[in-house]
Amino acid sequence: MSSWVISGIKTGIKSTHYPEEQEIRSGVSPGLPVTGSAEGRTPEICPTGALVVTEGRIGVDYRKCIHCFRCVRAENTAPLDWHQSYEWAARTDAEPPALDTRMFGRSLHVLVVDAGDCSACLSEITQLNGPYYNLHRLGFFITPTPRSADLLLVVGPATDQMRVALKQAYDAMPTPKRVVAVGVCAISGGVFGPSFIAGSGAADVVPVDVLVPGCPPPPLAILHGLLVAVGLKPPAVITSPPALAKQTEVSL
Amino acid sequence: MILANLLQEADLRWPDKVRARGDTCLQARGCEIECSPGVVAELCGWLFSERGYCFATLIAEERASQWELRYVWYGNGDQGVIHIVTRQPLAEQAFASLIGHVHAVDWNEREAEDLFGLTFTGHPRLGDFVLHDDRWNREVTPMRKHVDGSAPLVRLLPEREWKPLLVLNAPGAFAMPIGPIYAGVAESALFLLETQGEDVVRCLPRLFYKYRGIEKIAEGHTATHALLLAERCNGTSAFAHGLAYCQAAEAICRAKVPGRAQVLRVLLAELERFRHHTAAIREICESTGLPVGTSEASILEEELLSLSCRFTGHRYLFGLHTIGGLTRNFEVGDCLQMLEAAQDILGRLEELEKMLRYSNSFLDRIEEVGGVSYDDAREFGLVGPIARASGVDRDVRKMQPYAGYGDFSFEVPQEKAGDGYARLRVLFSEARQSVGLIQQAVNALPDGPVRAEIVNLTPGAALGWAEAPRGATFHWLRIGDDLTVARYRLATPSFLNWNGFHLATENFAFQDFPIIMATFGLSVAESDR
């Protein structure tokens, strides 16, 4: 048994210093495309319609971007600019204020509900619980039961047969409570919805407060989403440029 | 030669009822055998028990005026891939069930019954499968052509409450429900464990809470759009599924994939397998309550994820496939760097393996737990590491090589014991083989483009396959005359393997259940699609 202890000590501390410091290790995020001139670029290349042209510029709606890289790797069109960031979480329009962390004494319990994800989002949440991202050091804990949960993390497009369970889990949570939609599927249905069986995201079933775009969002983006939900980090804007958010409200 | 003999014998046994066709849609070493509905069961049973073929999938298709049922079988090398096809008019919806001859078709038939409204006479357990009886009326058949996949279905009220059929009749017996939402970060599925106290007597998995209807929503889209769905049927084995899909599309349009792309596909697929197996090992450590082991494996998993991201741009290898090759090239220098990092991670994984091998408390939990016998594994048509841990030598990389696999030497690790520990050993050995394959691929990387110059999609149909980290996957693609997807069938390893999951859980204690589940390492998303 002592060999495990020695092995643990030998490995040392691996945890990131985010949010105190920015994470500089490479490979923590796939990045996202950012707005740029529309010249020589074809917005039609985007399979989910995340690229919108306004006044000679291409804007990106992160509620739909699924990291297919077609806007940067397609032939015969100038690639879009790509930004290696990870602080992507945004607030929805009609939302109550962030949960007050003082009230929770740095102990916020998170329930994770899979409403039809492809398992990539869940895998990233699992990483969040691992040594590199170590959710616990920030006072977040993953809880097995809705009865002791303050925050609901939803992944997946809210498939028809998960709706009842998702609603019941949300209803069973005590107030105050907040919902974070993780991944493009949970925000807009992604490639799956809306369809005959999948919805257009978790907002169909439960009121969503924070959106974490990405397909899947990397662990740091999900962590940013949790920090936005408790008001410890300012939110990002869901589109690039930010002004686009208002315009696309209707089309979504 | 083997195929010719096989066809001759089939013709002798069932004269005038069986007809071989040299269908243009089939790749080399494949053949299509057309037969009347009456002899399908016998013919398939003969292929399975006497000729040793493995069952891949059942593809139901609603063609212009008739049903077309396609049972796909595959064997070693020259045995090829055989499609048994039977047709009957649309008005006749009853087919004979194969379940008496080939148990592996069980779930395939239940799925076709739910989604197409077909009936399989002789099948003991139809209904409440993909579409749950307490949510959907039995009249709803979403895969039929007249149903619009983009709009919500008209919800007829379900006829009944769902009441599981419980078989245990003893004092104090009860069914313990686990799911669909349960502890921790877990995929949604329901397991009913029938018990009299300590031991699980019967395990009844109820899946498809996550049914996303990928096969339906792909219809009417372009083949390049459906590729996104193929990748996202399971995010943790996206590359393998994308590969199988692209190979189907490439077979239809006869695209010539450049050699460099073929070798890079091997390299990337093995990187994905390495990462998947590391994650599976982490899950096994976690289920047995071994926090240091879990953390060590988790560190390696994260390092492989960020390595994948540095190397390809995406942590789960999304967006690399295109019909006819890859979307981006990789420099030799980058490949060498990636190889070096992968070898370093493998070294540490092997250290973890040594530590686990000498941890009695860990071994006690997985040794002789969750056993699946060779006969059961074959009978239920299990695939992937689970089958190989039970002594079933089944790997489509060897049996029907694709991409660049034919040119590389590697072993398919096998164990005989069939228990949880055997499955863990297979995972470790396969991770080693994967890194070996990455090394060979980097050393043998030919020059040239990574994308076929001309890819002209034409109407037609073809089957593509790949050995995904969890086992063989088969993608059947039919492109219609309007050049959109007319039928897309996704046969995944998890779908086949969940069918045999209960074999491992029954007659074990409650507390072994999460461990058995972890050693199976199945994905619900991959099964539910």
Where residue A77 falls among pLDDT bands split at 50, 70, 90? confident
With H, G, I as helix, E, B as strand and everything else as coil, classify residue B143. coil
Q: How far is A229 from chain B (nearest CA, A)?
A: 19
Q: What is the largest CA-CA distance in chain B?
A: 71
Look at residue A251 and tell me if it is in a domain: no
Look at residue B102 and tell me if it is in a domain: yes
Other beta carbons less than 10 A from residue A55's beta carbon = 6
- B202 and B233 share a domain? no
Full pLDDT tens readout for chain B, 529 residues: 677 777 778 778 887 777 776 554 455 567 888 888 888 888 888 888 888 888 999 999 988 889 999 999 998 888 888 888 888 998 888 888 888 888 888 899 999 988 888 888 888 887 788 888 888 877 888 888 888 888 887 776 766 677 888 888 888 888 888 878 887 788 888 888 888 878 888 888 888 999 998 999 999 899 889 999 999 999 899 999 999 999 999 988 888 889 899 999 999 999 999 999 999 999 999 888 888 889 999 999 999 999 999 999 899 999 899 998 898 889 889 999 999 999 999 999 999 999 899 888 888 888 888 888 998 888 888 999 999 999 988 899 988 888 888 889 889 998 888 888 999 999 999 999 999 999 999 998 898 888 888 788 888 888 999 999 999 999 999 998 898 999 999 999 999 899 888 888 888 888 888 888 888 888 888 988 8
Question: Is B305 in contact with A27 (Cβ distance < 8 A)?
Answer: yes
Look at residue B149 and tell me if it is in a domain: no
Look at residue B137 and tell me if it is in a domain: no
* Total H helices, total E strands in chain B: 18, 16
Where residue A252 falls among pLDDT bands split at 50, 70, 90? very low
Which two tokens mark B148?
Answer: 């619009």
- Closest partner CB to B315 (pick from A70, A157, A218): A218
Which two tokens mark B426?
Answer: 């297979």
Question: Is A26 in contact with B316 (Cβ distance < 8 A)?
Answer: no
A157 contacts on B by Cβ (under 8 Å): 212
- B346 and B259 share a domain? yes
Look at residue A132 and tell me if it is in a domain: yes
Question: Is A27 in contact with B150 (Cβ distance < 8 A)?
Answer: no
B327 contacts on A by Cβ (under 8 Å): 69-70, 73-74
With H, G, I as helix, E, B as strand and everything else as coil, classify residue B366. helix
* Total H helices, total E strands in chain A: 8, 12
Looking at residue A251, its pLDDT comes to: 45
| Residue whose pair of structure tokens reads 């390492």 in the numeric block | B521
Where residue A94 falls among pLDDT bands split at 50, 70, 90? low
- B86 and B192 share a domain? no
B295 contacts on A by Cβ (under 8 Å): 8, 11, 130-131
Sign of the CA dihedral with B183 first, then B186, B188, and B191 last = negative
Look at residue B436 and tell me if it is in a domain: yes
A129 contacts on B by Cβ (under 8 Å): 185
Nearest chain A residue (CA) to B303: A27
CB B214 within 8 A of CB A192: yes
| Residue whose pair of structure tokens reads 């074959």 in the numeric block | B378
Question: Is B150 in contact with A130 (Cβ distance < 8 A)?
Answer: no
- B388 and B481 share a domain? yes
CATH number of B90's domain:
3.30.460.80
- B292 and B250 share a domain? yes
Q: How far is B44 from chain A (nearest CA, A)?
A: 33
Nearest chain A residue (CA) to B528: A116
Looking at residue B274, its pLDDT comes to: 94
Q: How far is B46 from chain A (nearest CA, A)?
A: 37
Q: How far is A188 from chain B (nearest CA, A)?
A: 14
Look at residue A128 and tell me if it is in a domain: yes
Cα A58 off chain centre by:
23
B211 contacts on A by Cβ (under 8 Å): 116, 159-161, 197
- Closest partner CB to A11 (pick from B142, B299, B313): B299
The yes-or-no verdict on residue A209 having pLDDT over 80 is: yes
Please, which residues have CB within 8 angstroms of residue B374's CB and are 6 or more apart in sequence? Answer: B390, B391, B392, B416, B418
Which two tokens mark B362?
Answer: 């860990």
- B98 and B185 share a domain? no
Phi-psi region of B460 (alpha: psi -120 to 50; beta: other; left: phi over 0): left
- B398 and B464 share a domain? yes
What letter does residue A153 receive in the DSSP assignment?
E
CATH number of A185's domain:
3.40.50.12280
Q: Hey, of B185, B271, B281, which one would you mutate to test binding to chain A, going by the most A CBs within 10 A of its CB? A: B185
Look at residue A95 and tell me if it is in a domain: yes
Q: Hey, of A3, A65, A77, A118, which one would you mutate to test binding to chain B, going by the most B CBs within 10 A of its CB? A: A118
Question: Is B184 in contact with A73 (Cβ distance < 8 A)?
Answer: no
B363 contacts on A by Cβ (under 8 Å): none
Q: What is the CB-side half-sphere exposure of residue B252 using CA atoms within 13 A?
A: 27
Which two tokens mark A148?
Answer: 């002791």
Answer yes or no: pTM beyond 0.80. Answer: yes
- B231 and B378 share a domain? yes
Look at residue A31 and tell me if it is in a domain: no
- Measured CA to CA, the distance from residue A125 to residue A149 in angstroms comes to 16
At B167, phi and psi to the nearest 5? -110, -20
Domain assignment of residue B102, given as a range: 2-121
B132 contacts on A by Cβ (under 8 Å): 161
- Measured CA to CA, the distance from residue A130 to residue A133 in angstroms comes to 6
- Closest partner CB to A127 (pick from B151, B182, B302): B302
- Measured CA to CA, the distance from residue A235 to residue A212 in angstroms comes to 10
Question: Is B301 in contact with A130 (Cβ distance < 8 A)?
Answer: yes
Nearest chain A residue (CA) to B135: A161
| Segment A33-46 mean pLDDT | 83
Looking at residue A103, its pLDDT comes to: 63
- B363 and B456 share a domain? yes
Phi-psi region of B163 (alpha: psi -120 to 50; beta: other; left: phi over 0): beta
CATH number of B369's domain:
1.10.645.10
Q: What is the CB-side half-sphere exposure of residue B69 using CA atoms within 13 A?
A: 32
- B450 and B499 share a domain? yes
Which residue pairs from B138-142 have beta carbons closer than 8 angstroms and sit at least 24 positions apart in sequence?
B141/B114, B141/B115, B141/B116, B141/B117, B142/A196, B142/A197, B142/B115, B142/B213, B142/B216
Write down the H helix ranges in B232-290.
238-253, 259-287
Number of domains in chain B: 3
Question: Is B528 in contact with A116 (Cβ distance < 8 A)?
Answer: yes
- Measured CA to CA, the distance from residue B212 to residue A195 in angstroms comes to 9
| Segment A45-52 mean pLDDT | 86
Q: How far is A163 from chain B (nearest CA, A)?
A: 9
- B364 and B325 share a domain? yes
- B482 and B506 share a domain? yes
Number of domains in chain A: 1
Domain assignment of residue A162, given as a range: 90-236
Look at residue A178 and tell me if it is in a domain: yes
Nearest chain B residue (CA) to A145: B183
Write down the H helix ranges in chain A.
2-11, 70-73, 101-104, 120-128, 163-172, 184-188, 219-229, 244-248
Q: Hey, of B311, B315, B361, which one would you mutate to test binding to chain A, going by the most A CBs within 10 A of its CB? A: B315
Question: Is A119 in contact with B525 (Cβ distance < 8 A)?
Answer: yes
A109, A114, A117, A122: CA torsion to nearest 10? 40
CB B468 within 8 A of CB B233: no
